[in-house]
Amino acid sequence: MREIQFREALREAMSEEMRRDGSIFLMGEEVAEYNGAYKVSQGMLDEFGPDRVIDTPIAELGFAGIGTGAAMNGLRPIIEFMTFNFSLVAIDQIINSAAKILSMSGGQYNCPIVFRGPTGNAGQLGAQHSQNFENWFANTPGLKVVVPSNPYDAKGLLKTSIRDNDPVIFMESELMYGDKGEVPTEEYLIPIGVADVKRAGTDVTIVSFGKIMKVALAASQELEKEGISAEVVDLRTVRPIDYATVVESVKKTNRLVIVEEAWPLSSISTELTYHVQKHAFDYLDAPIHRINSMDVPLPYAPTLIQAILPNVERTVKAVKAVMYKA
């Protein structure tokens, strides 16, 4: 099977869906003439023209509102944020319009729109450009929130998201756009709300999603050297969450460590901890451990960034704590 980059998988997903359905269009800053800030939309303007690949001003509230209105009137927009940090400017349209219109209209209006772009830390970009918003949007009824970890999942999940009749928040990472992975040439879809066991194991369950899956998988390889078999579960979507897969894994391994980049308060790891202790308490041989970013704005210094973010060392330490009940 061929290997392509994460950005290429996203581009293929959008282009294939736009060829299939003329109501789909892409809108955002630099998506057209510049071929995308991260070259995700490279070549799409040439193929689909300026009516369907649309450059916008630096006005997230404005073009998110245009997209939401277009979705309510029969089109299927893809709205790209250069970073989800900028979605804060548009959050009123996302949460108070797109997420609520189906309910507030009594089912008369769907809002089939995808808001996509990078989330989380991407190096020395400062505190205002390095935040995680997966748990923010996952807190909102009416939204679906997708966070893929590799090119294969990214393409299949984005195609499904574009076809979905509800608004979908599709979160990527600037640090993953160059990642390569096997992606088939034939069409495939991945359902929203289905987790994937990336690595089978027997001693402990490690749950993560998005780019932090790299940390979880690397930690599982380090643990294997010490005779600890870790099962690694990739949530893939954080609204809805596939609780069943996590619970079944914990019933097998009897231990759980959750690794997530977001701050600890009101995080996805908090929600998972509550759900597992409620539905698999009798199977747990140790308290659940979670690893989040430290509860501070992300600093600029690379040494401090490394100290604050989830990493392999912290993950291995947490696994050993649940193994030996430290």
Is CATH 3.40.50.920 correct for 196-324? yes
Do 3-182 and 196-324 agree at the fold level? yes
Q: Is 60 a catalytic residue?
A: yes
- Residue 326 in this model has a pLDDT that exceeds 60: no
The per-residue pLDDT for 178 is: 97
Return the bridge partners of 4, or none. Answer: 181
The per-residue pLDDT for 11 is: 98
Catalytic residue among 12, 17, 29, 129: 129
The per-residue pLDDT for 2 is: 94
The per-residue pLDDT for 45 is: 98
Cβ neighbours around 251 below 10 Å, total: 15
Residues 166-183 have a mean pLDDT of 97
Residues 179-199 have a mean pLDDT of 97
Provide CATH code, domain 3-182.
3.40.50.970
Residues 44-71 have a mean pLDDT of 97
Helices (H), 21-150: 44-48, 60-72, 91-92, 101-104, 134-138
Catalytic residue among 29, 60, 174, 260: 60
The per-residue pLDDT for 1 is: 84
Q: What is the pLDDT of residues 231-282, one digit of tens each?
A: 999 999 999 999 999 999 999 999 999 999 999 999 999 999 999 999 999 9
- Residue 143 in this model has a pLDDT that exceeds 60: yes
Cβ neighbours around 248 below 10 Å, total: 16
- Encoded tokens for 252: 């097998």
Report the share of the chain in percent with pLDDT over 90: 96
The per-residue pLDDT for 123 is: 86
Show me where the domains of the chain are located: 3-182, 196-324
Question: For residues 67 and 28, is the Cβ–Cβ distance under 8 A?
Answer: no
User: How would DSSP label each residue in 281-312?
Assistant: GGG-SS--EEE---SS---SSHHHHHHHS--H
Residues 60-67 have a mean pLDDT of 97
Q: Is 12 a catalytic residue?
A: no
Of 189, 163, 44, 41, which Cα lies nearest the Cα of 110? 163
Report the share of the chain in percent with pLDDT over 70: 99
